[in-house]
Structure 1
Amino acid sequence: MPVSTLLPALASVLALVPAPPADSMMLSLRGDEGTAVVTLDCEPAGGSHPHAERACAALTEADGDFGHLPKQNVLCPLIWDPVAATASGHWHGRPVLVQREYPNRCAANADSGGVFGF
């Protein structure tokens, strides 16, 4: 079969494969209790993040800049139980790699606008 015959068939198959979201990240929290990992997709909100819509809204407000995420008004216990938070993926096609340390999981959630709230 000539290649010119296969190209239209290949193009129609590729059209059925959904493109990955341009805003997609893997998020992790690592502490003494172990490591939790979730995925977060935005536009539309999804993935395994339990509060994907809230996390995507915070990222949208900050235009994907983790240094400008809105803070949540949450009272967190003053318990030292540090966690390392990592985000890797893409936001509007731009690569993202962020690593932060928080005093505990509650602070990670509050200081990230819910992005690390899982």
Structure 2
Amino acid sequence: MAFFPFEPLTACALTLACLSGPVHPAGTSIALSTLDAGGRSGAVVLQCDPAGGTHPEAKGACAALTGADGDLNRVSPKNMSCTLEYAPVEARAFGTWKGTQVEFSTTYPNRCAADAHSGGVFAF
């Protein structure tokens, strides 16, 4: 069984605790986490409309999600080259996109691929 830095209830609590600015009923706040083969984990909160939270590239990540209407399975990948190194990264998202529940998890072949294939959503 895979370990994720956030379990759904923890992610929800963290997401609510990290809100900044006005809260809108149909807002966007998504807890994102990664765990790589070396045991390194990362976690951020992404807020959109306006872009913010603790994600280091919130504007770009929000733009990627907007282009896919919040569906992480439909995000357009970045045009960038990555090595073929296999160092798997488990990625997970939990929260809301414009008031709709979001839950996503996948494994990317490495951190570069996680960044590229998620359109920068998992670039942290």
Measure, in 1, the Cα distance between the counterparts of 2:23 and 2:71: 24
Measure, in 1, the Cα distance between the counterparts of 2:119 and 2:22: 29
Picking from 24, 27, 30, the partner of 2:35 is 30
From the CA coordinates, give the structure whose radius of gyration is larger.
1
SS of structure 1 residue aligned to 2:105: strand
Picking from 46, 51, 60, the partner of 1:45 is 51
Measure, in 2, the Cα distance between the counterparts of 1:18 and 1:79: 42
Measure, in 1, the Cα distance between the counterparts of 2:92 and 2:60: 18
Structure 1 gap ranges (5+): 1-16
Measure, in 1, the Cα distance between the counterparts of 2:96 and 2:80: 28
Measure, in 1, the Cα distance between the counterparts of 2:86 and 2:43: 21
Picking from 23, 34, 59, the partner of 1:19 is 23
Residue 72 of structure 1 deviates from its aligned partner by: 0.6
Deviation sequence 1:40-77 (CA, Å, 0-9, x none): 00000001101000000000000001111011111101
> How many residue pairs were aligned?
102
Residue 18 of structure 1 deviates from its aligned partner by: 3.2
Deviation sequence 1:80-105 (CA, Å, 0-9, x none): 10010000000010000100100001
Measure, in 1, the Cα distance between the counterparts of 2:22 and 2:84: 45
Root-mean-square deviation (CA, aligned residues, Å) is 1.4
Picking from 96, 102, 108, the partner of 2:108 is 102
Measure, in 1, the Cα distance between the counterparts of 2:23 and 2:50: 12
| 4+ runs deviating over 4 angstroms | none
Which protein has the bigger helix share?
Answer: 1
